[in-house]
Structure 1
């Protein structure tokens, strides 16, 4: 996908976030979690991550029923090969993920 097309798709995804993504974004935005800055619907390589903390190279993915486990596995492998850690949660678990994300953020040493 061309870079400009990927940026447009990311912009569209930000404007049309799922309810679960919106709830999680309320908690991640503005350095509220461990003073870490997250970006939403952020292009990373050939993909667009739901949420990415660039500083700690952490990606948080929120999956609904439309996600394909095989494609997600391939995508996660690409992220990990390129130095990213991936946390993947189901939409219905989004209320319970903050403690887990915070634990992982605290365990990652910064650049």
Structure 2
């Protein structure tokens, strides 16, 4: 991968972020693993998703570079007011790169994975259209 691709795909993430991402990839939650089983190997609209992908100082649960789309899986911790505030700030920083973020809770993934995948498919289709018009 050329250096310019590294900079653009990872948004200047530093080496320690890559190390943390590797650790997170090796220790995904059950909900993340369940969703990853359906995202990996281009199963959604022939799009490549990456698990635990570095973006600047953040690590996205799942990232589709061509669509500039992040999928976040929120466990119980995301219900706390401190975490909600952090997530809002983090989302604003990632949006600054022109990246869209969608969120699903662990419960949504564990209770109705088909609905989650339908929603992801719908958003991917919308992103494809929007990015073609840019």
Query: How high is the TM-score relative to the length of structure 1?
Result: 0.94
Aligned positions, number = 110
How far apart are residue 29 of structure 1 and its match? 0.1
Q: Hey, what's the Cα distance between the residues in 1 that align with 2:119 and 2:51?
A: 18
Is residue 69 of structure 1 aligned with residue 84 of structure 2? Answer: yes
Cα RMSD over matched residues? 1.3
Q: Identify which of 59, 63, 69 aligns with 1:48.
A: 59
1:74-104 Cα offsets, whole Å, 9 max, x none, are 1111111210000011111112311111001
Q: Identify which of 57, 80, 85 aligns with 2:95.
A: 80
> Where does the alignment leave 5 or more consecutive residues of structure 2 unmatched?
1-12
Is residue 60 of structure 1 aligned with residue 98 of structure 2? Answer: no
How far apart are residue 4 of structure 1 and its match? 1.5
Match of 2:31 in 1: 20
Report SS of the residue matched to 1:89.
strand
Is residue 6 of structure 1 aligned with residue 17 of structure 2? Answer: yes
Higher normalized helix content (fraction of residues): 2
Q: Hey, what's the Cα distance between the residues in 2 that align with 1:34 and 1:24?
A: 15
Q: Hey, what's the Cα distance between the residues in 2 that align with 1:66 and 1:57?
A: 25
Structure 1's consecutive aligned runs of 4 or more residues displaced over 3 angstroms after TM superposition are none
Query: How high is the TM-score relative to the length of structure 2?
Result: 0.78
Q: Identify which of 86, 99, 105 aligns with 2:118.
A: 99
Question: Larger radius of gyration, structure 1 or 2?
Answer: 2
Does structure 1 conserve the Cα–Cα contact (< 8 Å) formed by 2:71 and 2:101?
yes
